[in-house]
């Protein structure tokens, strides 16, 4: 079992407006999860998704497929 801690980061495209999420992709290989949390509430809950789902989400954002 690993005791690796998540290394949280925000996108370099994030501004300082407080409307950001943080992600810890550092756990993808060792634990098979990608935790995502609200940057305004770092001690609150985190949503965990699979690395495949995270990759699909990022790909959709880059392709501008997620606009309202």
User: In angstroms, rounded to a whole number, what is the distance separating the alpha carbons of residues 12 and 9?
Assistant: 9
- Token pair recorded at residue 26: 């550092």
Q: Phi and psi at residue 6, in whole multiples of 5°?
A: -65, 140
pTM summary value: 0.77
Q: Domain residues of the chain, as ranges?
A: 21-62
**Residue pLDDT, tens place only, 3-60:** 678 999 988 777 777 778 899 999 999 999 999 999 889 899 999 999 999 999 999 9
Query: Could you tell me how many residues make up the chain?
Result: 68
């Amino acid at each position: 079992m690993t005791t690796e801690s998540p290394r949280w980061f925000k996108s370099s495209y994030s501004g300082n407006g407080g409307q950001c999420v943080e992600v810890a992709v550092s756990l993808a290989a060792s634990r098979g999860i990608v935790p995502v949390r609200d940057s305004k509430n770092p001690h609150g809950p985190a949503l965990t998704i699979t690395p495949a789902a995270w990759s699909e989400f990022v790909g959709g954002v880059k392709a501008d497929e997620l606009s309202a």
